Amino acid sequence: MSRSVTSVAFDAMGTTVEVHAPTEQIAAALRTVRTVFRTWDESLSRFRPESELSALNRAAGRWFAAGELLFSVVSRAIWWADTTGGTFDPTLQRQIEQLGYSRTFAEIGTGGALPPLAAPVTGGGGWRLVELVPERRQIALPPDVGLDLGGIAKGMAVDASLEALAAAGIGVALVNAGGDLAVRGLPPGSDGWPVGLEPLPGEAILLRRGALATSGTLRRRWHQGGVARHHLLDPSTGYPAAQPLATVSVIAASCEEADVAATTTFIHGLAEGAAFLTSRGLAGLLAAETGDVVRAGPWPEGTG
């Protein structure tokens, strides 16, 4: 094995995906991860009318026969909604689109000002009425409910990418999808992967195993009729979470868990969010818009 690691990047699932692997394996690693993300994006994007997720959302109110990938991700999303008491809610597709996030963020950014909200937004909780039949991979959404799997699907795609890399004989890698990342093995000659943290310039940690995910409002912001919006919705209201947080980063065993925990923590807010992480034995860094930083659980020492 060479003593160096190379990184490459491509766009998928509405973000930039970075692949880090030993130099002599980087071409194979890129092909492997591209294949995973292409498959997941084509099946699970709510921005693709032809995706299976879009077909499921259009079929709300009746039974839908899902493919293996879609059924697996929906099942996990509903499980996490139940586990977090609904603070993580994957059934807010109609609310987020009503608030103006009905196209990719790149399209929103070039489309000019969005018109004002036409009608009040309702709260979430529709996940409680989603029906799943594992034996036949059937899903039934309530008539007024749609799924948005963007966050958890991205985290799960990172996990799936590392599994595919291992199957391809690539045992040292880092895959980062817009701040949702996971590692396998250690870089040659190092005892961890240096990972920078937003919004703390110069601060980084060494991630030796597992995953780290960051949720925040530094990037996905827009205005609707002059009102500031962001993509992290509070299920109790259906509107963007009114928390004084800029970002939340969470370390967990899988990117799936880290992503869900980061989103849940953000919606809880600073104090309740830190308590949530501590109750689950997870490590997190909560950065407030004021500049205050709270470290929850066994957060590792920084390198910067």
Q: Find, among 272, 190, 253, 226, the residue nearest to 22 by Cα.
A: 190
User: Between these two residues, 115 and 235, which has the higher pLDDT value?
Assistant: 235
State the pLDDT at residue 224: 87
d(CA 211, CA 182): 4
Contact yes or no for 175/158 (Cβ under 8 A): yes
Give the number of C-alpha atoms closer than 13 A to the C-alpha of residue 182, restricted to the C-beta side: 26
**Which residues does 98 contact at the CB level (< 8 Å), separation at least 6?**
117, 118, 119, 121
pLDDT in tens, 19-46: 999 999 999 999 999 999 999 999 999 9
H or E segment and range at residue 15? strand 15-22
Long-range interactions of 33-38: CB distance < 8 A, separation 24+: 33/161, 33/164, 33/165, 33/175, 34/10, 35/164, 36/157, 36/160, 36/161, 36/164, 37/10, 37/12, 37/13, 37/157, 37/161, 37/177, 38/12
Contact yes or no for 292/245 (Cβ under 8 A): no
Instruction: Compute how many other C-beta atoms are within 10 angstroms of the C-beta atom of residue 114.
Output: 18
CATH code for the structural domain at 5-295: 3.10.520.10
State the pLDDT at residue 200: 74
- Flag whether pLDDT at 202 surpasses 60: yes
- Flag whether pLDDT at 268 surpasses 70: yes
pLDDT in tens, 94-145: 999 999 888 877 777 655 678 898 889 999 999 999 999 999 999 999 999 9
State the pLDDT at residue 304: 47
For residue 82, name the pLDDT band (cuts at 50, 70, 90): very high
Mean pLDDT over each residue of the chain, to the nearest integer: 92
- 183 in helix, strand or coil? strand
pLDDT in tens, 35-81: 999 999 999 999 999 999 999 999 999 999 999 999 999 999 999 99
| Mean pLDDT, residues 141-170 taken together | 96
Q: What is the DSSP letter of 3?
A: S
d(CA 24, CA 28): 9
Contact yes or no for 51/69 (Cβ under 8 A): no
| Mean pLDDT, residues 180-195 taken together | 94
Provide the residue ranges of all domains of the chain, joining segments of one domain with +: 5-295
